[in-house]
């Protein structure tokens, strides 16, 4: 038989191991070690889905951030979920009125933990230029806020910066630590929900009146 | 007298039984349905297609809307109250945040009302810069409508295109005014600053780009069967109903009723420019889409004429009473510094009186009713917001339509909730 | 000054003034309001643009009111437009503070429904015969009428507080 020797198996010819070759499948040791906590934090930071919570001018800029020029999809966040059950980030974009505050709190309560809040713009952060009877002077009186984005309205760059700050805070575990230590975050305003159907009722801390009015 | 609109039999502006669901929030929770198989559902205020925080109570018979009530106020900001505590020079900062898709128009109405009370005559360049900025703003506002309308109807590529083009207009507005939105550029006495270097080339480039892309929108949407199916014959309203309900702007024009303040009651220098008033014929959502698309073309036409005819001169009135001194003089002269300080801390006094000034915003007649008691702050400042009044037409448009059409109809009304609730 | 008003209105005996912008302003009293508005509608002023309120509490003098009009604390301002004559007309109705009520314009102009609700919400002026006289902008259970002059702006003083320990 003049048969030539069979070709050597391809595996024998494999190039030296390294990240540039073959991807993960060719790694003989295709696993990584980490602490579970780190892996969870990493995945949380990498899959923030915002709820659509546009209120005012800032909502337009938030939508512009989702547009092609600023392209929030670069951070895997282009899916603005309509249902709060599917979202873990609430971007409070705009001024929060006294009438809207219970709704906002209800939506926050409906979101699944862990959940984060970005207060976008000065109106949401502090009432901004509308220091009057109608506007809640800072959404942190209603929900605990993790990152404040300044501006009136903040440009898309500012919002992206706030989002990236949030990501790094989530990854470092900073936010989780804050939550554990901060029972009753906010300014003493508790919104209790009577049942799933009816409107929520405000319970206001006695010293400040209705959200600080009066 | 008959309360029934003659051209639309069956639609009655009645206290009960019409398409308007007159129930309060708490009544709606407990009210028995008006007929078996009917139910009242709630849509909003946090709903992806209600354009902000509009809330609707819909009474449904199966999937058909029988009655509806828009509930507003979720963005009530107390701007009219705040406006009474701000001087006339600070006022535009406040009102510009009402209609945040077209902020320059509210500034313009406010400034025109103040100037009428003061009896100021503006230099021609200021007037023309105002027209230029307003038309650019109309383009960006209608592009925003195209984007959100596409998003609401599932044409997501239109949303991306709309944002892309709007971003280019905003870049130009930022170059001129310093801000992307909420410009505070048009102020009593003129505009805040002259046009910057290179604005003419940038504007021309913008007009070229957008003009071409409008044709792409036409190819993408206008003739597309799915798009037409979703919009044609949906949300029909008649001219008689529009007049009765106080509706203005593209909704009124979609019924074939030609009424545009720029043409029919000209302000600024619009009577010296050539443009067409775009009208529809059927009063449906498709006409409203097409009107807004073609109004972008008319605005481009207007901007080209303004570019050709922009006069030289001052960009604000030279009246020591209302105009702060130029920046350069402040460094040299003590009097100029005092003058500047007084204008910006105390403001200027405006003669007592009351006046109404109106402009044609992208949503209809935007008016400012101003009462002065002779002091530096208005006694009352009221904005007649077109979206606020236009929302009254919503129950009439929704009557008898499916819930799925509600999204298309709300979108075609194009309400800006900041202006509705103020 | 030539009266820009259509014929028939002079007989109603309504005081007329001209605003700084040159537009006509009518000053009917409460009882005349419906009649005057109907006459204007028949004369071509067929769209009601706006109804708004003004609170003149604390205003010393009211120089812009013509003779014969008794100033009151509140005023309701109705703006009508005639597309045929290309002109607007404004009705200013004095409303006393002790009895803040007006007849509704809903039957003449259905578009006055929401603006009248806003005037009720903000000033507490009730409109007799209005089909849905409820609050529109403020929450249903709100107390007070915010745009009245004796209602505080509600400015909350900014409180500086030390940043807490690094949480």
C-alpha torsion B396→B397→B398→B402, nearest 10: 140
Nearest-CA neighbor of B261 among A3, A58, A57, C81?
A: C81
Query: Does B140 have pLDDT greater than 50?
Result: yes
Query: Does A21 have pLDDT greater than 80?
Result: no
Q: How many CB atoms lie under 10 A from the CB of residue A178? A: 15
Distance from C-alpha of C52 to C-alpha of B274, rounded to nearest angstrom: 35
Mean pLDDT of all residues in A161-182: 77
Mean pLDDT of all residues in A37-54: 85
pLDDT-based confidence at A182, cuts 50/70/90? very low
Higher per-residue confidence, B159 vs B2: B159
Distance from C-alpha of B366 to C-alpha of B360, rounded to nearest angstrom: 6
Span between the terminal Cα atoms of chain A, in Å:
104
Average pLDDT, chain B: 87
Q: B12-21, B70-79, B270-279, C20-29: which range is least confident on average?
A: B12-21
pLDDT at B7: 40
Nearest-CA neighbor of A148 among A105, A117, A180, A186?
A: A117
pLDDT at B285: 92
**Please, is B97 exposed, middle or buried when counting C-beta atoms within 10 Å of its C-beta (0-12, 13-18, 19+)?**
buried
Mean pLDDT of all residues in C148-152: 86
Q: Which helix (H) or strand (E) holds C114?
A: helix C113-123
Q: Which of A131, A177, A181 sits opposite C156 (nearest CB)?
A: A131
pLDDT at B422: 84
Higher per-residue confidence, B259 vs C158: B259
pLDDT at A71: 87
Higher per-residue confidence, A66 vs B1: A66
- Cα of A133 to nearest chain C Cα, Å: 4
A129 touches B: beta carbon within 8 Å: yes
By C-alpha distance, the chain B residue nearest C59 is B373
- Cα of C136 to nearest chain A Cα, Å: 11
For residue A137, which residues of chain C lie inside 8 Å, CB to CB? Answer: 156
Which is it for strands C101-103 and C126-128: parallel, antiparallel or unpaired? Answer: parallel
State what percent of residues in chain B have pLDDT above 90: 44
pLDDT-based confidence at C52, cuts 50/70/90? very high
Query: Does B143 have pLDDT greater than 90?
Result: yes
Query: Does A107 have pLDDT greater than 70?
Result: yes
Selected for mutation to probe chain A from B29, B54, B97 (highest A CB count within 10 Å) is B97
pLDDT-based confidence at B369, cuts 50/70/90? very high
Residue keyed to tokens 């007084």: B342
Query: Does C167 have pLDDT greater than 50?
Result: no
For residue A182, which residues of chain C lie inside 8 Å, CB to CB? Answer: 167
With CB atoms and an 8 Å threshold, state whether B369 touches C122: no
**What Cα–Cα distance (Å) separates residue B352 from each residue in A91, B47, B383, C64?**
44, 45, 19, 8
pLDDT at B355: 92
pLDDT at B109: 94
State what percent of residues in chain B have pLDDT above 70: 95
For residue B389, which residues of chain C lie inside 8 Å, CB to CB? Answer: 49-50, 111, 114-115
Query: Does A191 have pLDDT greater than 90?
Result: no
Query: Does B145 have pLDDT greater than 80?
Result: yes
- Cα of B255 to nearest chain C Cα, Å: 15
Query: Does B22 have pLDDT greater than 60?
Result: yes
pLDDT at A82: 81
Mean pLDDT of all residues in A160-166: 91
| Highest-confidence segment of A64-68, A160-164, B322-326 | A160-164
With CB atoms and an 8 Å threshold, state whether B74 touches A100: yes
Q: Which chains touch B (3 or more CB pairs under 8 A)?
A: A, C
ipTM reported for the complex, 2 dp = 0.88
Query: Does C1 have pLDDT greater than 50?
Result: no
Q: What digits encode the pLDDT tens for the residues C90-143?
A: 999 999 999 999 999 988 888 898 999 999 999 999 998 888 888 888 888 888
Q: Which helix (H) or strand (E) holds A103?
A: helix A101-110
Residues of B (9-38) whose Cβ lies below 8 Å from C: 13, 15-16, 20, 22, 24-26
pLDDT at B301: 93
With CB atoms and an 8 Å threshold, state whether A153 touches B181: yes
Query: Does A28 have pLDDT greater than 60?
Result: yes
pLDDT-based confidence at A101, cuts 50/70/90? confident
Q: A73-87, B11-25, B389-403, C133-147: which range is least confident on average?
A: B11-25
A98 touches C: beta carbon within 8 Å: yes
For residue C158, which residues of chain A lie inside 8 Å, CB to CB? Answer: 126
Query: Does C8 have pLDDT greater than 80?
Result: no
8 A C-beta contact, residue A139 and residue A125: yes
State what percent of residues in chain C have pLDDT above 70: 86
Higher per-residue confidence, A4 vs B244: B244
pLDDT-based confidence at A198, cuts 50/70/90? very low
A182 touches C: beta carbon within 8 Å: yes
Mean pLDDT of all residues in C78-86: 90
A69 touches C: beta carbon within 8 Å: no
For residue B42, which residues of chain A lie inside 8 Å, CB to CB? Answer: none
Distance from C-alpha of B256 to C-alpha of B281, rounded to nearest angstrom: 5
Mean pLDDT of all residues in C18-45: 87
Mean pLDDT of all residues in B337-354: 89
With CB atoms and an 8 Å threshold, state whether A99 touches C167: no
Query: Does A208 have pLDDT greater than 60?
Result: no
Mean pLDDT of all residues in B265-274: 91
Query: Does B59 have pLDDT greater than 60?
Result: yes
Query: Does A109 have pLDDT greater than 90?
Result: no
DSSP string computed for B371-418: EE-SSSS-SEEEEE-HHHHHGGGHHHHHTT-BHHHHHHHHHHH---HH
With CB atoms and an 8 Å threshold, state whether B380 touches C54: yes
pLDDT at B400: 87
**What tokens were used for B55?**
């809330």
pLDDT at A184: 41
């Amino acid at each position: 038989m003049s048969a030539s020797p069979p070709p050597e198996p391809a595996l024998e010819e494999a190039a030296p191991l390294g990240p540039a070759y073959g991807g993960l499948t060719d790694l003989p040791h295709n696993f990584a070690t980490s602490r579970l906590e780190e892996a969870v934090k990493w995945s949380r930071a990498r899959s923030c889905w915002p709820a659509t919570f546009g209120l005012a001018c800032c909502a337009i800029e938030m939508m512009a951030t989702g547009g092609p020029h600023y392209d929030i999809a670069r951070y895997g966040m282009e899916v603005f979920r309509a249902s709060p059950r599917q979202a873990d980030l609430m971007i409070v974009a705009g001024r929060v009125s006294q009438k809207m505050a219970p709704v906002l709190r209800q939506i926050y309560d409906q979101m699944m933990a862990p959940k984060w809040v970005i207060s976008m713009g000065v109106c949401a952060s502090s009432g901004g230029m509308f220091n009057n009877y109608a506007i809640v002077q800072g959404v942190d009186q209603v929900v605990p806020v993790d990152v404040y984005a300044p501006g009136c309205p903040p440009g898309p760059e500012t919002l992206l910066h706030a989002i990236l700050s949030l990501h790094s805070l989530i990854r470092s575990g900073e936010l989780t630590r804050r939550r554990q230590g901060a029972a009753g975050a906010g300014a003493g305003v508790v919104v209790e929900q009577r049942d799933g159907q009816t409107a929520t009722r405000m319970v206001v801390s006695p010293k400040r009146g209705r959200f600080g009015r009066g | 007298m008959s309360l029934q609109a003659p051209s639309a039999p069956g639609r009655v502006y009645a206290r009960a039984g019409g398409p308007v669901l007159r129930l309060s929030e708490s009544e709606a929770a407990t009210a028995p349905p008006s007929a078996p198989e009917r139910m009242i559902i709630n849509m909003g205020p946090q709903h992806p297609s209600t354009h902000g925080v509009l809330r609707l109570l819909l009474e449904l018979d199966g999937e058909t809307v029988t009655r509806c009530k828009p509930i507003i106020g979720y963005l009530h900001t107390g701007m009219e109250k705040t406006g009474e505590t701000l001087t006339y020079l600070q006022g535009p900062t406040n009102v510009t945040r009402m209609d945040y898709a077209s902020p320059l128009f509210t500034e313009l109405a406010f400034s025109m009302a103040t100037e009428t009370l003061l009896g100021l005559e503006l230099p021609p360049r200021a007037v023309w810069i105002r027209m230029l900025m307003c038309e650019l703003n109309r383009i960006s506002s209608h592009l925003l409508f195209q984007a959100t309308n596409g998003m609401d109807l599932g044409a997501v590529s239109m949303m991306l295109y709309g944002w892309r083009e709007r971003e280019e207009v905003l870049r130009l507005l930022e170059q001129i005014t310093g801000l992307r939105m909420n410009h505070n550029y048009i102020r009593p006495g003129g505009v805040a600053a002259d046009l910057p270097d290179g604005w003419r080339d940038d504007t021309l480039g913008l007009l070229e780009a957008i003009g071409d892309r409008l044709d792409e929108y036409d190819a993408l949407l206008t003739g597309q069967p799915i798009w037409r199916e979703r919009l044609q014959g949906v949300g029909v309203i008649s001219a008689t109903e529009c007049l009765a309900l106080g509706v203005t702007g593209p909704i009124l024009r979609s019924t074939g009723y030609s009424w545009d303040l720029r043409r029919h009651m000209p302000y600024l220098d619009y009577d010296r420019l050539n443009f067409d008033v775009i009208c529809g014929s059927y009063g449906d959502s498709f006409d409203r889409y097409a009107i807004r698309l073609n109004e972008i073309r008319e605005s481009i036409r207007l901007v080209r004429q303004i570019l050709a005819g922009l006069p030289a001169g001052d960009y604000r009135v030279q009246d020591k009473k209302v105009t702060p001194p130029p920046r350069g003089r402040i460094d040299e002269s003590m009097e100029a510094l005092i003058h500047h300080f007084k204008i910006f801390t105390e403001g200027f006094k405006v003669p007592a009186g009351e006046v109404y000034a109106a402009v044609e915003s992208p949503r209809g007649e935007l008016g400012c009713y101003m009462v002065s008691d002779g002091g530096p702050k208005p006694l009352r400042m009221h904005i007649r917001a077109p979206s606020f009044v236009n929302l009254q037409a919503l129950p009439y448009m929704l009557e008898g339509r499916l819930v799925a059409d509600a999204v298309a109809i709300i979108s075609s009304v194009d309400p800006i909730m900041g202006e509705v609730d103020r | 000054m030539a009266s820009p008003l259509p014929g028939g209105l002079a007989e109603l005996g309504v005081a007329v003034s001209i605003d700084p912008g040159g537009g006509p302003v009518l000053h009917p009293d409460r009882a005349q309001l419906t009649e005057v508005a109907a006459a204007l509608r028949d004369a071509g002023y067929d769209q009601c643009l706006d109804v708004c309120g003004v609170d003149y509490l604390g205003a010393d003098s009211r120089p812009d009111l013509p003779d014969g009009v008794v100033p009151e604390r509140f005023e309701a301002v109705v703006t009508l437009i005639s597309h045929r004559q290309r002109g607007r007309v404004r009705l200013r109705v004095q409303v006393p503070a002790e009895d803040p009520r007006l007849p509704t314009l809903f039957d003449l102009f259905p578009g006055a429904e929401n603006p009248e609700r806003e005037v009720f919400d903000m000033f507490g002026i009730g409109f007799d015969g209005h089909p849905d006289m409820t609050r529109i902008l403020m929450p249903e259970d709100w107390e007070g009428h915010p745009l009245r002059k004796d209602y505080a702006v509600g400015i909350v003083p900014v409180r500086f507080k030390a940043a807490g320990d690094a949480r």
